Amino acid sequence: MSKALTATLTRAENAWLTAVRLKDRATVARLWAGGVGFLDEGGMLSVPGFLKSFAGEQVDMLKTTKARVVRLDRNCALITYTLEQKGSFEGAAFPPKVYATTTWVRRRGGWRAVLHQESVPAQS
What is the rounded distance in angstroms from the CA atom of residue 111 to the CA atom of residue 108?
Answer: 8
| pTM for this predicted structure | 0.92
- What is the residue-level pLDDT of the chain in tens, covering all 124 positions? 689 999 999 999 999 999 999 999 999 999 998 767 898 888 898 889 888 888 889 999 999 999 999 999 999 999 999 999 999 999 999 999 999 999 999 998 899 999 999 999 988 7
Of 57, 59, 61, 35, nearest in space to 48 by CA: 35
- Domains recognised in the chain with CATH numbers: 3-118 (3.10.450.50)
DSSP code string of 35-88: EEEEEETTEEE-HHHHHHHGGGEEEEEEEEEEEEEEEEETTEEEEEEEEEEEEE
